[in-house]
Chains A and B, each alone.
With several copies, the nearest count.
Chain A
Amino acid sequence: MISMACNIAGVPFKNPIIMASGTFGFGREYAEFYSPELLGGIVGKGLTLHPKAGNTGSRIHETASGMLNSVGLENPGVAAFLKDELDDMTRWNTAVIANVGGSNLEEYVQAVAMITENAQKRRTMNRRGVDMLELNISCPNVKQGGMQFGIQTEVARDVVRQVRNVTALPLVVKLSPNAENITQMAVMCEEEGADGVSLINTFSAMKIDIRRRRSVFTNTYAGLSGPAIKPIALRMVHQVAQAVSIPVIGMGGISSVEDIIEFTMAGAAAIQVGTYNFVHLHAGAELVYGLEQWMQREKVQTLDEIRGIL
């Protein structure tokens, strides 16, 4: 009777609960604790064309109801991902989303092209490949002094347009809360043919070690996530959902069924869970069960009944 299922850009999700990039590895570690098949989907850790060692020094610092991370996109690179991780991921009956970053335009385009080509090849062999792409535009743009691609709409437009050109895979663009105008950014994505947007990535933030008189992080700033940012994330999702007609995937501090309902009421087609995975090892399973129970209790048959109602 009750159905949590949803469909985003043609990709079916058995429920709207997706694990956020960088917080769930490629699923393997959590799979030791509960079945990833419970989940609507998994976004793998952020990939770049070439392998990246990530940042040196401290990478994690806890803040009031939040955390800062400066992992610096440590990842094995697209080729190793396709070779070593994808088979395992696609064996689970859950949507597989590849999150892609880059330090310049060409890297984005090549990484996306490689993943797309791989998906096509696998399809011809009747094997599952990546179901969806999530484009992470919160990467430092090395050619432009390190400012993130995702700050200014016109800079980001270039990335979205070029990537759209080389892929027929469902394409979701992940927006940064550091954007000058996140609504405008979302509208741009819709204009450039993205199939959806997801938001929010982490806030640029800072922690100073007053004893050592320096930033805790080698890169000075780091990304803030967790319950602390939820009220801002919810506002942004609400604004963006009003401005575009493509699906919006909401995230930022989600840690309870109540949070999921709030994002859904604000217009989210699905949601992602990041930091909360660290708080409770079984976060994903807990939220899936909890959401189902809530729908039963509240007599809500499908989330469409409450989606975007304000």
Chain B
Amino acid sequence: MANVISNVALVPGIYVMKIEGTFKGEMGQFYMLRSGTGYPLLPRPISIYDIGDEDISFLYRVVGEGTHLFSQLQSGQEIQLEGPFGNGFPQVEGSLALVGGGMGTAPLLLAAKHYPHAHVYLGFAQQAFGVDAFEAVAASVQVRVGGSIVEKVDPHLYANMFSCGPTPMLQALAMKTAGSSSRLYISTERHMACGIGACLGCTMHTRGGNKRVCKEGPVFPVEEVDFDDLHGV
């Protein structure tokens, strides 16, 4: 259990929660968060948004009961969290694009801090949020609200790309990247129970066989990903 420092809405329904303590974690890893003592039962996987010396932050959207409970937390109240889990984004050399859609922008902030030379592309369906955090650390930030952010990205310009967002966006980016020599890593999502690789609830079918999104993932090189399986759930 840890204490909430602050929990504020950036735009309606999208919050940043800052939690007190010394936490570990790399770009693309996540924590399992849980609020309250009863229902919901299972903790929720949320990517690390930012880490300070004495705090950790999460950017989340209220979609159901679990995230709703998060949004009710006030500063000083307690939250259960365990982590960091997952593989995170890899260490890469050379030019890099970070392509995020909606909530998929969350795990990219740490990457932007880690690779200040990276070009950041942020797409939002209705309303942008959290752009200034990227602008504060990144060389270049392009934003699109409505339409597809993928249209703005030219894979040929980048040795590497990290992406996270809705499956159709990821798939569009994958198709656009197919002809290029750019290496694309995408962060995937699956409903999770344990978060540590024990329950096999988050298994994803990949070209390399079954993989646990919480353990071998959530980040996979695009060649491994079976988009049919991603769409299926």
Q: Which residues of A contact B (CB under 8 A)?
A: 22-25, 29-30, 32-33, 45, 53-54, 56-62, 64-67, 69, 71, 74, 226-227, 275, 277-281
B38 interface residue, CB < 8 Å from A?
Answer: yes
Choose one: A32, A57, A58, A74; the contact of B200 (CB below 8 Å). A74
What's the least CB distance linking A218 to chain B, in Å? 8
CB pair A278–B43 under 8 Å, yes or no, is yes
**9 CB-based A-B contacts, threshold 8 Å:** A32-B196, A57-B233, A59-B201, A60-B42, A60-B201, A61-B191, A74-B203, A279-B41, A280-B80
CB pair A69–B232 under 8 Å, yes or no, is no
What's the least CB distance linking A230 to chain B, in Å? 12
Choose one: B34, B38, B196, B215; the contact of A64 (CB below 8 Å). B38
Q: A56-B232, A67-B42, A279-B42 are in contact. Are A23 and B198 (CB under 8 A)?
A: yes
B229 interface residue, CB < 8 Å from A?
Answer: yes
Choose one: B80, B199, B203, B233; the contact of A278 (CB below 8 Å). B199
B202 interface residue, CB < 8 Å from A?
Answer: yes
The complex places the Cα of A69 from the Cα of B199 at a distance, in Å, of 9
What's the least CB distance linking B218 to chain A, in Å? 15
For chain B, the count of residues having a C-beta within 8 Å of the partner chain is 30
The complex places the Cα of A62 from the Cα of B69 at a distance, in Å, of 15
Q: A65-B41, A74-B210, A279-B34 are in contact. Are A45 and B200 (CB under 8 A)?
A: yes
Chain B residue contacts of A66, Cβ below 8 A: 41
Q: A64-B39, A65-B38, A65-B39 are in contact. Are A23 and B199 (CB under 8 A)?
A: yes
B117 interface residue, CB < 8 Å from A?
Answer: no
What's the least CB distance linking B207 to chain A, in Å? 14
The complex places the Cα of A304 from the Cα of B199 at a distance, in Å, of 33
The complex places the Cα of A279 from the Cα of B43 at a distance, in Å, of 6
The complex places the Cα of A279 from the Cα of B201 at a distance, in Å, of 14
CB pair B198–A60 under 8 Å, yes or no, is no
CB pair B41–A227 under 8 Å, yes or no, is yes
CB pair B198–A29 under 8 Å, yes or no, is yes
**Closest A residue by C-beta to B205:** A56
Chain A residue contacts of B200, Cβ below 8 A: 22, 45, 54, 59, 71, 74
Chain B residue contacts of A69, Cβ below 8 A: 193, 199, 201
CB pair A60–B192 under 8 Å, yes or no, is yes
B197 interface residue, CB < 8 Å from A?
Answer: yes
Choose one: A29, A275, A281; the contact of B41 (CB below 8 Å). A275
**Closest A residue by C-beta to B233:** A58
Chain A residue contacts of B202, Cβ below 8 A: 59-60
CB pair A71–B229 under 8 Å, yes or no, is no
Chain B residue contacts of A67, Cβ below 8 A: 41-42, 193
Chain B residue contacts of A29, Cβ below 8 A: 194, 196-198, 215
Q: Count chain B CB atoms within 10 A of each CB in A23, A62, A71 and give the residue with the most.
A: A62
Q: A58-B233, A60-B202 are in contact. Are A30 and B196 (CB under 8 A)?
A: yes
What's the least CB distance linking A294 to chain B, in Å? 17
Closest 7 CB pairs of A and B: A25-B198, A60-B201, A29-B198, A278-B193, A60-B191, A29-B197, A58-B233
- Near A by CB (< 8 A), chain B positions 133-192 give 191-192
**Closest B residue by C-beta to A25:** B198
**Closest A residue by C-beta to B64:** A62
**Closest A residue by C-beta to B66:** A62
The complex places the Cα of A60 from the Cα of B205 at a distance, in Å, of 15
**Closest B residue by C-beta to A32:** B196
Chain A residue contacts of B76, Cβ below 8 A: none
Chain B residue contacts of A279, Cβ below 8 A: 34, 41-43
CB pair B39–A24 under 8 Å, yes or no, is no
- Binary A-proximity of B214-233 (CB < 8 A = 1, otherwise 0): 01000000000000010011
